[in-house]
Structure 1
Amino acid sequence: MIDNVRLQYASWIEISTLGCLSCTAYFEASMKLRLRGQCALVYQGEKTFEDYVYQGFSLCEAAILRLSESLVPGHYLYFDRYFSTTKLLNELHLRGFNSTGSIMKNRVPKGCTLSDDKDFIKKPRGTTEVKCRADGKLAITKWLDNKPVLMISSCFLDTACVTCSRWNKRIKQYQNIRRPEVIKNYNSNMGGVDLTDRLLAVCPARSRTKKWTIRLIFHMLDLAISNSWLLYRDRQRTKGILSQKIEQFKEYKLNLGEKLITKNCPPLLTEEVDSSLENYLAPAHKKRRVDIKPLPAKKNREALHLPEYTDSQMRCRKEGCKMKSTVKCICSDIYLCLVKGRNCFAEFYN
């Protein structure tokens, strides 16, 4: 879960470990599952969480509780230091959720006595200190990495540790240190949040308007596109396709835009072919490997792909054909064989 305060609006999003909205992940898992709540919220003033605020919860606590309404009990929830409070974890525990998050130092209960940071930082890297509540339902863990880290959890209540590798600046090499289970699980499950943040920062749809409504619409479009690409990448990986052959996010977003533009575009004359599509090829270099292929959306346009005979010969662009041809497509501007016994032109477009 992330707190997104940008571009004159605030929104809260419930994200799975894959990086998609949680409702998207549930829809993929079960087509019959019906959600009761929301997986994305936009702050609309004091009345956004009026019922929770009336019960004494803060804004961040109310956001987590509202988002958790779409989940069934038994889920593991992870959030950062801006949300974590003992009051929130107690309420989530009563609702049947297992919660973990980093916590601010000033939100640690006064009855929980932990080592002072000045003394704690002098101890060996990987030192762990755990304080568990008397009822055994809540624990605060202090771990020394480059600096002290505070975690609060209702599901990781012991001192169990695993080994991890960390870079040591003093000796200039990696060394193995002890890391609590709560830190390991928090880092592995919060990766989806960081991934979504990175994708939203890649070629975002921005406008020069200052109206927050337009910016919010563009932000939600970016979020929808990043969700679709993550699902596409996950499916390609399950099919065993190599990462190098999976369409990258920028290319995926560009192709999606081209397809939406040409989706309902009427048939055009050859003289009216959009010049922007003709300039899709990579910038010219002195020496480069030629691999010219038109966009799929452009490749399937109506009544545009017509052959034209030229005086020059070029290598046929159909995959697997190594012959040269004098026939050129007037739309895609690529050469394809069109002779008796070898009709690469028809095979390429069909």
Structure 2
Amino acid sequence: MYQYIGLTLYMGLLKRPKIKDFWCTSSIFRVPYPPQVMPRDRFYNIAWNIHMSDPAEDALNDSRKGMDNYDCLHRIRPLYDSLRVACKAVYHPQQHLSVDERMVATKARIALKQYIKNKPTKWGIKLFVLSDNTGYTVDFSIYTGRSTLVSGKGLSFDAVMSLIQKSYLGSGYHIYCDNFYTSPALFSHLHGLGFGACGTFRDTRIGIPKTKENALTKKSPRGTIRWIREGPLIFIKWMDTREVSVCSTLHTAFSGDTVKRACKVGGKYRAIEVQVPTAVKDYNQFMGGVDLSDQLIGSYSSWRKSRKWYVTVLHHFIDIAVTNSYLLSKQLCSRLKQQPMTHQAFQELLTAELCGVPSQPVLESYHHFPVAIFEGAPEQKKATQGRRKCRLCGKCTPFMCEACKVPLCVIVDRNCHKTYHSSACGTEK
């Protein structure tokens, strides 16, 4: 299984149109590494028969479809639960956390499939993800439908609270989310648990104060700020190119922060300082944790199209584990004051260790032959044109080493070429 996972990571680094192309021997693009790990048919057999749960128990669970004890995630449940525990067991996240959706692309005919028109991946299985500002996936949950709602306060409330667990995190964390999740009920509940929250909001959300007194208009100048406070909640509206609405339990309305914007002054556009609420500035800085995680996962993803939806989810779980491992490696290197590996170098090393077949370095063949420094000189200048000082004796010579590109004499009574390559300095070259 380690070798199988290692090969899926290898295929994420080195792309080919079809899986069988990695074992092809008649193509000019053939690669020698996968056949050293395992035969093609063995890889196919594992891919066709891989399961994360007992098939007999899957059949029993399928017979309960439509009942209360039916589990639509039964086929991935063992790995799903253990991976969530592992993500939280080996790393304690930083203070600023963000909650957002993630789509695992699939068009399988299952009830889990969702359609979100504003996402780059429109069809797939939707995950609610909790991440810190490094991109580490702290926790995640798979959306299985509205029938699983338990609080009665809406999907967005339940999605956030399923990820924010005080027994694990403690308190004092700052949670950032977009307008799908932001609501006064959620932020008040988080404040009661000891968590700060900040996010954009929709004016149509229940509990949002509505007033036209001293409100922003389309003609309000850029940088105009309006706010209303209700207990621990502050509702801020700021005019940028359009109106921006932010709710927070962490910030004051304005702390003197500014941001550069291009504004028309005297008929010309110039960069001027515009006042900005601290809540907006912090939201822009810390909300991108899940997007950063998606970017890292998509860089060298092991995902491949499959007819079985649980195999697609399996490869996404592998990508989460590998990406989190890479981020942990960077954290450890920074503490030890060492230069961290790049994402590609880390995945190459991990692939080689999982496969158990180390990559063989390509040895370059050097031909230390004396050749002319300058070729194509006219007949009367063949002995003089292109002459340089010999590296050993300092006298002029028209010859150099083909591999080392070092000028060296090659004459009857002074063979500096042979002396140079038989000495210690020539050996190091």
TM-score by length of 1: 0.63
Shift of 1:110: 5.5
Q: Quick check: 2:199–2:247 contact (8 Å CA) kept in 1?
A: yes
1:62 aligns with 2:62: no
Unmatched runs of 5 consecutive residues or more in structure 1: 23-38, 266-296, 315-321, 326-337, 346-350
User: Is residue 319 of structure 2 the alignment partner of residue 222 of structure 1?
Assistant: yes
Instruction: Give the structure 1 partner of residue 175 of structure 2.
Output: 77
Q: Aligned in 2, Cα 1:100/1:311: closer, same or farther, shift over 3 Å?
A: closer
2:295 is equivalent to residue 198 of structure 1: yes
Q: Choose which of 165, 177, 187 in structure 1 pairs with 2:260.
A: 165
Residue 311 of structure 1 deviates from its aligned partner by 9.1
Question: In structure 2, which of residues 339, 346, 350 is the aligned counterpart of residue 252 of structure 1?
Answer: 346
Distance 2:316 2:295 in 1: 13
Task: Report the secondary structure of 2:272's partner residue.
Answer: strand
Structure 2 equivalent of residue 289 of structure 1:
none
Question: Mapping of 1:275-290 within 5 angstroms?
Answer: none
Q: Which moved more, 1:222-231 or 1:177-186?
A: 222-231
Question: Which whole-Å CA distance do the structure 2 matches of 1:121 and 1:203 have between them?
Answer: 45
Residues 70-122 of structure 1, C-alpha deviations (whole Å, 9 max, x = no match): 321222111111111111112112222111111123216364325799x6232
Q: Give the paired residue count.
A: 261
What is the DSSP-based 3-state SS (H/G/I as helix, E as strand, rest coil) of the residue aligned with 2:368? strand
Given the superposition, is the C-alpha separation of residues 3 and 237 from structure 1 closer, same or farther in structure 2, using an over 3 Å criterion? same
Which amino acid counterpart does residue 18 of structure 1 have in structure 2?
T
SS of residue paired to 1:74 = coil
Quick check: 1:91 aligned with 2:223? no
Distance 1:45 1:206 in 2: 24
Matched-pair contact (CA < 8 Å) for 1:140–1:150: yes
Q: Percent identity?
A: 22
CA distance in 1, matches of 2:212, 2:360: 66
Aligned residue in 1 for 2:46: none
- CA distance, structure 1, for counterparts of residue 427 and residue 321 of structure 2: 38
1:300-334 deviations in whole A, cap 9, x for unaligned? 9xxxx9x99x89339xxxxxxx9979xxxxxxxxx
Change (3 A) 1:93 1:298: same
> Hey, what's the Cα distance between the residues in 1 that align with 2:162 and 2:156?
10
Bigger RCO (CA 8 Å, 6+ sep): 2
C-alpha distance 344-217 of structure 1, shift in aligned 2 (>3 A): farther
Q: Which amino acid letter does the alignment assign opposite residue 42 of structure 1?
A: I
3-state DSSP class of the match of 1:177?
Answer: strand
Distance in 2, Cα, partners of 1:311 & 1:153? 66
| CA–CA separation in structure 1 for the residues paired with 2:322 and 2:346 | 9
Partners of 1:255 and 1:196 in 2: CA distance: 21
Once residues 174 and 247 of structure 1 are traced to their aligned partners in structure 2, the CA distance between those partners, rounded to angstroms, is: 38
Indicate the residue corresponding to 1:124 in structure 2: 221
SS at match of 1:106: coil
Q: Which runs of 5+ in 2 are unaligned?
A: 1-98, 106-123, 370-400, 405-420
1:10 and 1:110, CA in 2 relative to 1: closer, same or farther beyond 3 A? closer
Amino acid paired to 1:211: K
Closer, same or farther: CA 168–201 of 1 in aligned 2, 3 Å: farther
Mapped contact 2:222–2:240 kept (Cα < 8 A): yes
Which residue of the partner structure matches residue 232 of structure 1? 329
Q: Kindly indicate whether residue 150 of structure 2 is the aligned counterpart of residue 150 of structure 1.
A: no
Report how far residue 5 of structure 1 moved.
3.1
2:367 maps to which residue? Answer: 312
> What do the CA deviations read for 1:187-218 (whole angstroms, capped 9, x no partner)?
22223223112222323222121322111111
Distance 1:76 1:120 in 2: 31
Pairwise CA distance, 1:260: 2.3
Instruction: Determine helix, strand or coil for the equivalent of 2:164.
Output: helix
8 Å contact kept, 1:76–1:99:
yes
CA shift, 1:3, in A, is 1.3
* 1:100 alignment partner in structure 2: 198
Q: Is the 8 A contact 1:129 1:141 kept in 2?
A: yes
Q: Please state whether the residue corresponding to 1:41 is helix, strand or coil.
A: strand
Equivalents in 2 of 1:77, 1:14: separation in Å?
Answer: 9
Instruction: For residues 126-147 of structure 1, give each alpha carbon's deviation from its aligned partner in whole angstroms, at most 9, with x where no partner exists.
Output: 11111111xx211111111221
Report the alpha carbon displacement of residue 239 of structure 1 after superposing the two structures with TM.
Answer: 5.3
Name the stretch that deviates more: 232-241 or 93-102. Answer: 232-241
- Of residues 16, 19, 28, the one that matches 2:135 is 19
Shift of 1:246: 4.9
Alignment of 1:298 onto 2:392: no
| Mapped partners of 2:232, 2:225: distance in 1 | 19
